[in-house]
Homo-oligomer: A and B are copies of this chain.
């Protein structure tokens, strides 16, 4: 299949049909009318704006989440904006099918209307980055900038987004750390097309700084401060936000996700295929065979997921997995890798380790022998010897990895996500065995198909 044929086929699947466009336009029209009407009813000075991929016409077929932002005048006190914004959202939402309250920097309404999810979010009516007061205020500016600059490349953005989704590099959530939709739009606007962005995968990294709005010339001081800060944080890319020179649009992009994009871009250009956009599910294998093949061991912790949303749960699971890695390495186990996630109301952490048992003694390095501490160490330890000036002693330790983990948790020597501490302590621990619903996950993890670059 030629690259053109692949692109044509993918576009056929991801470009919204005329029917879908009509549906979306009508839906937005209705929502706008409803919002204007409700604002008037309540006698408020609020402008409704659509933001996000629907407003920019960069949404993928079938992906219709609506973002309706309610812009309050800049002089509104923050507390008032929060209260009246939520109230207004609720009144609008009551006219739709159903709704619930969701939480980000401030609470907002997530409603459902004709099968589409509608986020109704209060914000300030900013005209410039200098006015920005809350995290969501830039969205209106982003939407405006994209619409002014996209020049009909909307399908190119769709291709890039679908490609990033297919290779698992899409989403700027903290637990993904991939490319955001806005970043994809900027890259297409900057380099001209989907293929051009892929061809620039190596170039971009070397260039490091992308500055479509020329902030480095317009606002050199502020822009340079941003660049310096982001260089120090060792980001793979620094994309100065066209609507705010203080912000790196790629701040959440990790080296790992960029690397995934990097190798897939090379591969796709060499051997184009629709598989990059629509990957087949990995064929499952047997995780016990993997363990036997590798001679490693799998420790799995399963515990209640504490009703946490992904934004909180997943980073805390990652933190906890890293905490176990560190603590176990200190105890002499080698951690080959970790994995985490949830299934139903149960969260899990998997650790692949080099052994399930260790010796029951450990060599404990002590101080130099001719010091007060050295003489103490000599007195306190039974089996003690010298290497050079340093004393060493033999120390009894727990052999089994589950006993070691229990002891580490008891002594609070594992750094855990703060909302998970209690749950982890009551976790079920399993060695070289997982319940049926985690067998597939265990296989993908152990076979490295999950984080692997070669799938």
Which residues on the B side are within 8 Å of A103 (C-beta)? none
- In whole angstroms, how far apart are the Cα atoms of A260 and B294 in the complex? 45
Q: Which residue of the partner chain, among B259, B334, B389, B391, contacts A369 with CB atoms under 8 Å?
A: B259
Residue-wise, chain A 420-455 has the 8 Å CB interface mask toward B (1 for contact) of 000000000000000000000000000110011110
The answer to whether A370 and B205 have CB atoms under 8 Å apart is yes
The answer to whether B387 and A256 have CB atoms under 8 Å apart is yes
Assuming the contacts A385-B448, A388-B255, A454-B383, asked whether A295 and B260 have C-beta atoms less than 8 A apart, the reply is no
Assuming the contacts A262-B369, A370-B202, A370-B262, asked whether A453 and B357 have C-beta atoms less than 8 A apart, the reply is no
Complex interface residues of chain A between 350 and 400 (CB less than 8 A to chain B): 354-355, 357-361, 363, 369-370, 375, 378, 382-389, 391, 394, 399
- In whole angstroms, how far apart are the Cα atoms of A369 and B453 in the complex? 11
A29 adjacent to chain B (CB < 8 Å): no
The answer to whether A361 and B294 have CB atoms under 8 Å apart is yes
| Chain B residue with the shortest CB-CB distance to A293 | B360
Which residues on the B side are within 8 Å of A145 (C-beta)? none
Q: Which residue of the partner chain, among B334, B360, B369, contacts A295 with CB atoms under 8 Å?
A: B360
A263 adjacent to chain B (CB < 8 Å): yes
Assuming the contacts A262-B370, A378-B263, asked whether A295 and B399 have C-beta atoms less than 8 A apart, the reply is yes
The answer to whether A385 and B354 have CB atoms under 8 Å apart is no
The answer to whether A332 and B354 have CB atoms under 8 Å apart is yes
A336 adjacent to chain B (CB < 8 Å): yes
Which residues on the B side are within 8 Å of A388 (C-beta)? 255-256
Q: Interface size class for chain A?
A: 35 or more
Assuming the contacts A294-B361, A295-B357, A370-B205, asked whether A383 and B452 have C-beta atoms less than 8 A apart, the reply is yes
A296 adjacent to chain B (CB < 8 Å): yes
Which residues on the B side are within 8 Å of A448 (C-beta)? 383, 385, 394
The answer to whether A453 and B386 have CB atoms under 8 Å apart is yes
Which residues on the B side are within 8 Å of A369 (C-beta)? 255, 259, 262-263
Assuming the contacts A295-B357, A360-B295, asked whether A255 and B382 have C-beta atoms less than 8 A apart, the reply is no
Q: Which residue of the partner chain, among B236, B294, B385, contacts A451 with CB atoms under 8 Å?
A: B385
The answer to whether B453 and A361 have CB atoms under 8 Å apart is no
Residue-wise, chain A 130-162 has the 8 Å CB interface mask toward B (1 for contact) of 000000000000000000000000000000000
Assuming the contacts A332-B334, A332-B354, asked whether A386 and B259 have C-beta atoms less than 8 A apart, the reply is yes
Whole-angstrom distance between the Cβ of A179 and the nearest chain B Cβ: 15
- In whole angstroms, how far apart are the Cα atoms of A294 and B375 in the complex? 25
Which residues on the B side are within 8 Å of A266 (C-beta)? 375
The answer to whether A295 and B259 have CB atoms under 8 Å apart is no
Assuming the contacts A255-B389, A262-B370, asked whether A294 and B359 have C-beta atoms less than 8 A apart, the reply is yes
The answer to whether B262 and A359 have CB atoms under 8 Å apart is no
| Chain B residue with the shortest CB-CB distance to A294 | B361
Seed contacts A293-B360, A294-B360, A385-B452; 19 additional CB < 8 Å A-B pairs: A202-B370, A256-B388, A259-B389, A262-B369, A263-B369, A293-B361, A294-B359, A294-B361, A295-B357, A295-B358, A295-B399, A296-B361, A332-B334, A336-B361, A354-B359, A355-B359, A382-B454, A385-B448, A394-B448
30 A-B pairs with C-beta separation under 8 A:
A202-B370, A255-B369, A255-B386, A255-B389, A256-B387, A256-B388, A259-B370, A259-B386, A259-B389, A259-B391, A262-B369, A262-B370, A266-B375, A294-B359, A294-B361, A295-B359, A296-B359, A296-B361, A332-B354, A336-B361, A336-B363, A337-B363, A354-B358, A354-B359, A355-B359, A382-B454, A383-B454, A384-B454, A385-B448, A391-B453
Q: Nearest 8 pairs between A and B by C-beta?
A: A295-B359, A295-B360, A259-B386, A256-B386, A255-B389, A383-B448, A294-B361, A296-B359
Interface residues of A (CB under 8 A from B): 202, 205, 236, 255-256, 259-260, 262-263, 266, 293-296, 332, 334, 336-337, 354-355, 357-361, 363, 369-370, 375, 378, 382-389, 391, 394, 399, 447-448, 451-454
